[in-house]
Structures are given as C-alpha cells and as structure tokens.
Amino acid sequence: MVTTAWRPRGRAASAAPLFAPLVGRHPWAGAAGGPASSVVHPASPQAGQIALLWWIAVGISAVVYVLVVAAFFIAIARHRAQEGPPAGADPRAERRATRIVIGAAVATVVILAAWFGLSVASARALERPPAHPVRVEVIGHQWWWELHYAGASPSDAVTSANELHVPVGIPVQLQLASADVIHSFWVPSLDGKRDLIPGTRTTTWFRVDRPGVYRGQCAELCGLEHAHMALLVIAEPKAQFDQWLATQRAPAVPPADPVTWRGQAIFLGAACSLCHTIRGTGAGALSAPDLTHLASRRTIAAGALPNAPGTLGAWIADPHAFKRGTIMPATRLDGGAMQALVAYLRSLR
Amino acid sequence: MTAVPTAVPTSHEEELDRARRLEAAWGSPHGLVGALRTVDHKAIGRRYVLTALTFFAIGGVLATLMRLQLRQPGAHVLSAEQYNQIFTMHGSTMMFLFAVPVMEGMMIYLVPLLVGTRNVAFPRLNAFGYFIYVLGGIFFYVAFLLHAGPDVGWFAYTPLSLSRFSPGKGPDVWAQLITFTELSALVVAVEIVVTIARQRTVGMTPQRMPIFVWASLVTAVMIIFAMPAIMLSSSMLIMDRLVNTHFFDVAQGGSALLWQHLFWFFGHPEVYIIFIPAMGMVSEIVETFSGRPIVGRPAVIASLAATGTLGFGLWVHHMFATTVPPVGGSFFTATSILISIPTGVQIFCWIATLWTGRPRVTVPLLFVAAFIVVFVIGGLSGVMIASVPLDLQLHDTFFIVAHFHYVLIGGGVLPLFGGLYYWIPKATGRLLSERAGRWHFWLWLIGFNVVFFPMHFLGLAGMPRRVYTYQPDTGWGPLNLLASSGVLLVIAGAVVFVVALLRSRTHGAAAGDDPWRAPSLEWGTSSPPPSYNYLDLPTVRSAVPRWTAHADQPVIAGVRDDVREVLVTRFADAQPDHRARLAGPSIWPFVLAITTTVGFIWSIFDPWGVPIGLILCAPPLIAWFWPWTRERDPRRAPLASEAAA
C-alpha cells in the first residue's frame, strides 16, 4: 500500500541517482546550473508520492516487458526451420498452450488490479486539501504568469509575475485562472500539472520541503509563444519568505539620482505605462506584468531572458527578436534615454 | 444450393471463355478518364495506400524539420509560427491523411478478396470516398503552402482555436480537412460493414471469418460511432468562427471544455481505428508463418471487439489535468487500464501460436517482432499514464510524445509494413527483396528507438510538448540531439523500402499465387488478382480454408459472368440469399467529389458556400443515380435453383 507521507530516504529516493544524468537536474544543483526540474527528483510530498508510483510502475513494467519479449523470441527460435506438421496437431500441447495463455491473462488482470489500487490510493492521498495554506492566485496570460498574494487588507496585497516565492515546509494552495486561453501550471519537482481554464477556477497545492529554485513551464499549447512561458518557484525558509513579502508590499523605490529620475520620466511618458504598473507612480495599467519590484526578479519575459542591464535594454528595444509573439511593442530610444530607463528599472528592488 | 463441385470437368477453352466474359463485365475502363471512372476495389484500395504512404512521407519530412529545430537549445531552423504550423500539419497529416486512410485502403483492397467476392458493396461510393480523401489532402497542403496552415495543434483546443486568438483561416482549414476525412471514412465504413455482413462467400460464417476481416468490421463500426462526434464538434467550431455562434466562447456563456469532450470522444477511438486493423494484420501474418491455425481464435476475436467497445470509454484520460472529480478519475483510470487486457490476450495468443507452430522467419514476421519490441513499451507506458497522479506529471510532456509514437508506430506502422511485405506480392505479382526488408527492419527498429526512447527522459525532466525551442539551462540539449540523430536511420530505412518497392516491379521474383503457403482465400487467385478477383468463387469449410480445402471443395456456380453480379449471403450462416448487381464504372462520383470540395472550401470563406455547394452537388447526384440502361434488371434475380424449382 502506498504510504501517504513522503519519506525522502525511501525506495524512490535511492533509485533516483542511478538515472540522474537522464531525467533532469537535481534540486541541489540549482545553484550551479539551471533551476531544478525533474519528476523523479521530488522536492515536495506530492511529487514524492508520484515519484514513488513512477518507480513502482517502472519496476513492474521492466519485468513484464522482459518476460513478454523473451517469450516471443523463444517462441520464434524454438522450432525455427523445422519441417513437419506443427505441434498444433498434438491435442496435449494445444491444451497446455491454452492453459498458459489463460494463466498469462489472469496474471495480467492481477497486476493491473494491484496497479489500479495503488493509483487510486495515491490519488486519494493527493486529493486531500491542506490545512492553513499560503494562498496564491495564479492567472495565466499569453505568455506570462500573473501572481497575487492576498494580504490582511487590500493594500497589503502583492502582485508579481513569473516568479512564485513560497515558504519552505508550509503548504501552498494555488487558485488558478486564465485571462485568455487554456494554460497549464506545471513544476515537475513539486507536483503534477493543473490546467488554467477560462471561465473556471481550478486549484492545486503542494508543500516544498527543500529550499531551492524550481523550474516550471506552461504545459498546454497556448499559442505562438507557448515555448516561452516559464515560471520559477523560489522556496525559502519562512523568515526569508516573509521578508520578501514585506519588500514586495512596499511601493516602488523612488528614483534616487538624476539618471533614474530621467528613466522614470521616460517610463511614464512612453508607451510603457499604458500596460504596466509601477506602484507608487502614475503607471497603473493591468494588462502586462507588474514591474514595481522588477529588479528583484531573476528573469524577464517569463523566463525568456536573464534579468540583467544588457538583456533588459535589448528586450525593450526589440522584444520580438526574443519572443516573436509578445504583445509588447518595440520602444525606440536613443542610447542615453535607454540607459536611463534601464537604470530606473534596475533600481526597482 | 449454388455450390457445385469442381469435380465436374471443365475444359481449358471453357475456362478461358469464362475469364474473357468476366473481364468484359468487371474490367476497368482505360485511359485517364477511365482511371477516374473505375470502381474496382483493388484499384481504389491501391490508390488509398499509395496516397496515404505519400502523405506519410510528407509527414515524415515535417517531423524531420521539427527534430532539426529541437536538436539544440535556441536553434533557428524554424520560427515559432512555422514550428506551430508544422507540428499541427504533422499531427493532422499522420492521423487524418496517413494512418486512418492507409488502414481504410488495406481494408478496401483486402476485404473483398478475403471474403471471396468480386467487389465491395457500393463500388461508386467507394470511388467517391477516395476522391474526397485525396481532394481534402490536396486542399490542406495548398492552404499550408499559401501560409494559411493551421497552427493550433491537431486537437485544436478552444478557446485558442477561436477567432479571437486565431484570426486568419488556419483553424477553418483544419476543421474542413476533418470534414473531408470524416466523409471519406464514413463512406468506407459503410461499404466494409455491408460487404462483410452480406457478401461473404458460402460457408464463411462469422466464426470462420479471417481475423483481419473481423478487425475491419470492428474498425468500421467504430468509425460509424466515433466520427459523428468530431463531425459535430468541427462544425460547431467552424460556426463559432464563421457565423458567431458561441458554443465554445466562455465570454458568451459557452464552454471551453465542451470541445475537449467532443474531440476526445472521437479522438481516442481514432487511435483504435488505426490499431485494430493493424492487429488484424499481425494475426494473419502470425497464422501464416507459424504454419498453424491461431491459438485462441475466439479469444482474439473477442479481444478485438472488446477493444473496440472499451475504446469509447476512456476519452477523459486526456483531460485529467483539467480537474476530474475523484470517482470520475477512478472510472477512467479503470477503463484505461482495462483496455490493455484484450491486447495482452492477443499478444499471448500470438506467442502461443508461434510457440506451438513451425515459425518461418520472413520479413513480415520480423515486422511483427518489431511490433512486439516497440509496442509493448508503449502499452506499458500507457498503463502508467492511466493513473491519474502519474498522468498529471507526464501529460503534455515529451513522455507522452514518446508514448504515443511507441503505440502508433509500434502498433500501427510496423504491423502495416509487415502487412505490406506480406500482401504486396499478391497485389503486384512480385516479391519484395528479402534482404532490403531486413535492412528496413533493422534501420527502423534501431532508428525509431534512438529517436523516441530519449523522449521519455525529456518528459521526466520537464520538457513540455509543442515547444518550438528551449533554454540552454534546462539541460535538455544532449537528449534532444540524440533523438534528432536517430532520424537519419529512420530516413535510411524509408528509402530502402521505397527502393525495394520500385525495384520489385522490374527485378522482383515472381510471387506465384501463394508464396507464403497461407491459409486464407486471397492466395488462391492469381497475383495480381484479375478484375473479377476469382474465376471460380471459392467456398469455405473452416477458418483456414486453404489448409483444409477438400480436393473437391465446391465452388460457386450460378452467378452470372457477363454482368457485375455477386452472390449475397445471409449474415449468420453464410448461406446464399440472393444475387445482386453492383454498379459499374462512372465519372459521376468524381464530379460529385469536385462539387463537394467546392462547397466545403467555399464555406470556409462564406456561409453561402453551404447552400451553393448543395445546389452544385445536385446535378452529379442526379446523373449518378439516373437509370441510364433500358434493361431493368430486378435487384433480386431468382437463383438458378429457385428458378428451376
């Protein structure tokens, strides 16, 4: 029977390193390479449960596969090229063949029934919603993720994009919705996927047990830039998470020097403010990611580019070069103006 | 009773005379116009198979382009637009223009031969079905080359495929391709059902029907039940796009998920519509090359029927991620697991047949071996993703891409190649090169696994389907490169097959009537079969008629040889019922296909295309059914014995 509690040192965990080079990056490698993304290197009890199911299925399948293929080839090789009447003429051999077929069919039914039981028990365990979770609303857009953390009062609410910060060891429940087409929320190291469906609210939950950066990506074809709709989950200890939340609640840092002042003026004067919000300034449009704390994020354009001065400038000047389908228009600015704008955006910590 | 013993001596001259009369009655007209008029099921079946194989090659080229694009992170072989169009075209081509039609073609070619009759039940309808299929395919590719190709996937999920998110004509073109292929598939299904039900030769009771004929019957019945769902949904989609209905538009009270239910209610049986005929081919090949009747014949037949029935009860497993209530999830998990049992039973029966037989390892049997090696992996991964929790991880990833290629190539294409190596000698009179066949087998077996096995791991590592590129830091590069490199082997195997096919026409050894010592009827006529299939229509006294025929096995007499007349038998006991006249060559099915095509294409741009198309179709329909001949043959002519009595 499936144990509902995930044991990190269980059978699944011990089998995993064997295939490590093939099935994705281990969470601990997060700092060195890219963020973790692997079904078989779970970092939550939910993904752990499924990984256990996976290894059981692989084990059974390997045995069944070897038996079936071996039987087939032995059957061909046994009497190959022998002449004479086939054994079909012998009624005893016939009866034995029939009995073996029936036996194999019964064995199949037994294995499948056991698998069904395991699967349903696992599903039941995963369907139990957590108590006192951190709630986050996730809204899918073509092609980015909008994230809302409710606060004690509306003014405490936090809006961010493409980077989901969560506390370690505390369940997180996501309320999923879509602003346009069907998307699918999927972070392989943390849980199975859940669709974001227009006109419907769906929900999913997980509890991250190891701090780290986990990669996710939209899993349902959502149009031209489906490939560029990534998401990072950043799991931190509770204290760090609270601190992050407090920082995000604050309005944008006001410009501190002439360059950033100029940058802010450009932002508010150009097309930027028609779509983006920077809380604490006049920019309050809602159709594009909230940029109030843009500089605190690791990537831009839903994971298409790292968040660095060079990439930010290149993105603003010609977003379609990196993400052809994006709705964001190109912004033509001379060198100094662009530098000022980038400096301002980089100051939004 | 119409069967008389062959023991009655007939002179050679008499036989030649009869053959000449039959040829005059059943022969196809010559020339280009003649080719458009022909109603010979063998000519039409051949066309289906060759056209479908051409589309298979085109789909393969598209797949190669995708593998080039994905061979490394951030490659620029294709743009996002091109990639999305190409995977949509690839999926739609392989499902609608290759896999289903090629199986239909095999059924149209083989079923009349296997049941011992001279043509399918509705010969002109058969010709019409082919033209609709090929015109639909041409229309689809012309649209693609004119940059109006669909780019929303072969499943065209709403709301992405609605006008708001997909302006342009792409999804309309896709939906109308569906209309073309549905129409053609329904036509084939009706012919196959009627041909099998009423034109089996004397003595071929249901329990003696060849297993491929059983598979064809199950497939045809599945088509009749599955196609209306997609016909409905593609019409609703095109209406949402064209005349502003709101079936799928959430903002207007429609439902985004309704589409998925309707689509997969068709889409899942569709897989079995491809798979079941292939299983029929495997049974025929295993029986012939093990040299003994198949073990557990009733179980194999029951398995085909069970697969065809269960196939309608598991569509929701494509939708687990949309959130399915627990009981519903368990139900669809159970059905998805259950469907592996009949397939398992068939595999066990084949193994037992070979085990107790005297297997001869030929190319067709090698492809059956390839089928076992490949398909069983796909079947097992299918049982894995029947589980809701595991499916939530693996759904819509490259693991699924691997899974369904193992199932469809393993369970559809490899048996098909076995079937082609097996039956092409019958169709052309020439054997295919055994050596080339072995090369083809090894190149595909290795190449296929190099391409698709790594995709399992890519899915586990988080790579979703339908992405045109990926970032270097995902670590997906090396396995993608490996997968892409395997394409070379697959292409080489395909080239070997095409060369072997062409060379066999000039250099192939003569096949003779029966190169394989096979048990079924078609190996008793010449290769290629004459236009009338059998000079003497055979009768049947077992499930393996050619292995058990008496020296004086009766043949059917009393069916006219100077007109297109066939014997109609009763369903259950396969005893003579009456004789029926079949329609002869006609140009009107072709003309009707053209006018139907005009209507279908017109309606993409303008709703008036529907009534105009209907009006355009009226003249060819009237001409088709006009009683041109003065002689009015009663549909039910009395049998010779009845007349005497």
Q: B261-318 pLDDT, tens per residue?
A: 999 999 999 999 999 999 999 999 999 999 999 999 999 999 999 999 999 999 999 9
* Residue given tokens 């809204």 in the structure block: A139
Q: Is A137 exposed, middle or buried (0-12, 13-18, 19+ CB in 10 A)?
A: middle
Calculate mean pLDDT across residues A276-298.
93
Give residue B602's pLDDT.
95
Alpha-carbon span A309 to A259, nearest angstrom: 14
Q: Contacts of residue A299 in chain B, CB cutoff 8 Å?
A: none
* pLDDT confidence tier of residue B588, bands split at 50, 70 and 90: very high
Burial per residue of B356-378, b for 16 or more beta-carbon CB atoms within 10 angstroms, e otherwise? bbbbbebbbbbbbbbbbbbbbbb
Task: Answer yes or no: do B365 and A221 touch at CB < 8 A.
Answer: no
Picking from A65, A186, A199, the nearest residue to B377 by CB comes out as: A65
Calculate mean pLDDT across residues A250-264.
94
* pLDDT confidence tier of residue B163, bands split at 50, 70 and 90: very high
Task: Answer yes or no: do A19 and B457 touch at CB < 8 A.
Answer: yes
Nearest CA in chain A to B357: A86
Measured CA to CA in angstroms, residue A204 lies from A38, A133, A172 at distances of 18, 11, 8
pLDDT tens figures, A85-140: 555 567 888 888 899 999 999 999 999 999 999 999 999 999 888 999 999 999 99
* pLDDT confidence tier of residue A14, bands split at 50, 70 and 90: very low
Give residue A93's pLDDT.
81
Q: Contacts of residue A119 in chain B, CB cutoff 8 Å?
A: 333, 386-390
Classify A111 as helix, strand or coil.
Answer: helix
* pLDDT confidence tier of residue A13, bands split at 50, 70 and 90: very low
Domains and CATH numbers, chain B: 38-264+548-637 (1.20.210.10)
Task: Answer yes or no: do A37 and B457 touch at CB < 8 A.
Answer: no
Picking from A76, A79, A105, the nearest residue to B348 by CB comes out as: A105
pLDDT tens figures, A157-211: 999 999 999 999 999 999 999 999 999 999 999 999 999 999 999 999 999 999 9
pLDDT tens figures, B449-502: 999 999 999 999 999 999 999 999 899 999 999 999 999 999 999 999 999 999
Q: Contacts of residue B323 in chain A, CB cutoff 8 Å?
A: 194-195, 202-203
Picking from A97, A219, A223, the nearest residue to B355 by CB comes out as: A97
Alpha-carbon span B411 to B314, nearest angstrom: 18
Measured CA to CA in angstroms, residue B362 lies from A245, B425, B447 at distances of 69, 13, 21
Task: Answer yes or no: do A192 and B255 touch at CB < 8 A.
Answer: no
pLDDT tens figures, A50-81: 999 999 999 999 999 999 999 999 999 987 65
* pLDDT confidence tier of residue A228, bands split at 50, 70 and 90: very high
What is the ipTM for the molecules in this complex? 0.91
Give residue B600's pLDDT.
94
How many CB pairs lie under 8 A apart between chains A and B?
281
**B645 pLDDT above the threshold of 50:** no
Q: Pull the structure tokens for residue A278.
A: 């920077």
**B601 pLDDT above the threshold of 80:** yes
Alpha-carbon span A334 to B496, nearest angstrom: 59
Calculate mean pLDDT across residues B37-46.
96
* pLDDT confidence tier of residue B436, bands split at 50, 70 and 90: very high
Give residue A63's pLDDT.
97
Give residue A187's pLDDT.
97
Mean pLDDT, chain B, integer = 93
Mutate to test the interface with B, among A38, A72, A311, A327 (most CBs of B within 10 A): A72
pLDDT tens figures, B492-525: 999 999 999 999 999 999 999 999 999 999 999 9
* A332 residue type, one letter: R
Residues 6+ apart with CB under 8 A from B33: B587
**A30 pLDDT above the threshold of 60:** no
Q: Contacts of residue A74 in chain B, CB cutoff 8 Å?
A: 355
Give residue B627's pLDDT.
79
Partners of A212 in beta bridges: A235
Classify B221 as helix, strand or coil.
Answer: helix
CB A88 within 8 A of CB B294: no
- Min Cα distance B462 → chain A (Å) is 6
Picking from A71, A203, A219, the nearest residue to B397 by CB comes out as: A219
Give residue A16's pLDDT.
44
Give residue A80's pLDDT.
65
Give residue B9's pLDDT.
54
Task: Answer yes or no: do A75 and B354 touch at CB < 8 A.
Answer: yes
Alpha-carbon span A328 to A305, nearest angstrom: 15
Backbone angles phi, psi at B392, to 5 degrees: -60, -30
**A18 pLDDT above the threshold of 60:** no
Task: Answer yes or no: do A220 and B396 touch at CB < 8 A.
Answer: yes
